[in-house]
Structure 1
């Protein structure tokens, strides 16, 4: 009975993949014919099956860009970039889409040690740092055993130096892994979808207006109260806006 269920599950998955491939090709054909709205419909049908890929989000963003849909195009370019963070074509198209936004927000740059530390931390994913730490554990144990069982003083010295160095690197890798995890957990980007959003100083309609944002602007969500979201801009400004005005770039 279990084998039958596995076979049926496999056939269903295979059929779903085949159907999604057909929808993707149909969407590409419609896009090439200039039927961007219809292409979007095909691409979104694939998303409805909980399947996603960088190519799918990229094509969906391109279609929205052709229709001058600022917020959706930036949103889906950002989603594509989450899956393919080093893709130059996605980055270039995202830059073009951002040129359509109204808000000109300066970025407060990191300087000195903070910039270097963050640069190294973001050079690898949390999983990559964790894997590096595991490898260094094995290296440390191996070199320590070599030191313990070695007979010659020369080999003992080399094994001791190597094990000490691997232990130090292990601690560094763990530190960067935990730092990367903490930064990723705090990172909650979102895109403003409202054509114009009035950002409040407090999470209620009676509070004063702090500033306004327009569609396509990227923000960081730092807190939430009911249907209000506290956002922070790249220039350090903070305020509250309705959760309906933004769409969060949730992780996969």
Structure 2
């Protein structure tokens, strides 16, 4: 029995390590910030920080956009850079680009409190005030737990929890002390739960990054129609900074859903994928 359990754990460890290796590389430099943060030694970010602090927000945007494009060419994204861009765009009252960059930052680092705070504050400034449709409380809790860490964070926690589980099993099987066995059992059970949910959250966060199905309205006004046809009935209108969920594609049209559950079609040029 012991050999079977240890063999199963060994195979699971290989699976967990492979899961961690499959996570896309995300460059996260906590020292590179624009607002209420310290600047790093990187020339571009230092220049952007100086421009931002002097009120030259458009200059800061130009510098950071150049850095963003250079990073994308190398296959690297930074939640901090997106956060900085969001701040700079917000200062120029460009709610579309501000929301877009804040949401991209949140996608890479969902647990960051500054990002969450700025998104919540920005929601008070955009034109569309959309109430969120009621959702099952367990789904809300599950999503909130998932967003506590990034995909890399959950992967690291899974590996650490797995090592703790191995240690607990060794202590449980080979210790003769009853108290030690009980302690090892409960710690191992807790570690097992963390391993299972850590892997689930890792792959869900990874899937959100690789298959981006949310977007932000960028156009001044975006009419939402009943079908992918310019002559179809207009259902409602959205404005810059509103986040939508993309559900279907049809040529140059996207079917979108908003937080209150309403669905319609919009021209692709009116929004940008997060």
Contact 2:165–2:191 (Cα < 8 Å) also in 1: no
For 1:8, the equivalent position in structure 2 comes to none
Root-mean-square deviation (Å): 3.3
CA-to-partner distance for each residue in 1:65-88, whole Å, 9 max, x for gaps?
Answer: 232222112222333344554544
Aligned residues: 227
For 1:208, the equivalent position in structure 2 comes to 233
Segment of structure 1 superposing worse, 107-116 or 62-71: 107-116
For 1:234, the equivalent position in structure 2 comes to 259
For 2:62, the equivalent position in structure 1 comes to 41
Deviation at 1:161, TM superposition (A): 7.0
> What is the TM-score of this pair, normalised by structure 1?
0.71
Matched, 1:106 2:131: yes
Distance in 1, matches of 2:205 and 2:49, equals 37
For 1:26, the equivalent position in structure 2 comes to 47
For 1:245, the equivalent position in structure 2 comes to 270
Distance in 2, matches of 1:21 and 1:60, equals 16
1:124 aligned to which of 130, 149, 165:
149
Distance in 2, matches of 1:180 and 1:71, equals 29
1:217 aligned to which of 233, 236, 242:
242
Using a 3 Å threshold, how does the CA distance of structure 1 residues 232 and 184 change in structure 2: closer, same or farther? farther
Matched, 1:61 2:82: no
Distance in 2, matches of 1:86 and 1:136, equals 20
Structure 2: gaps (5+ residues): 1-40
For 1:185, the equivalent position in structure 2 comes to 207
Contact 1:126–1:177 (Cα < 8 Å) also in 2: no
1:159 aligned to which of 178, 181, 184:
181
CA-to-partner distance for each residue in 1:6-52, whole Å, 9 max, x for gaps?
Answer: xxxxxxxxxxxxxx933333333333443332332222222221165
Using a 3 Å threshold, how does the CA distance of structure 1 residues 138 and 235 change in structure 2: closer, same or farther? same
Structure 1: gaps (5+ residues): 1-19
Using a 3 Å threshold, how does the CA distance of structure 1 residues 96 and 223 change in structure 2: closer, same or farther? same
Distance in 2, matches of 1:185 and 1:210, equals 31
Distance in 2, matches of 1:120 and 1:89, equals 18
Distance in 2, matches of 1:94 and 1:118, equals 17
Distance in 2, matches of 1:88 and 1:148, equals 42
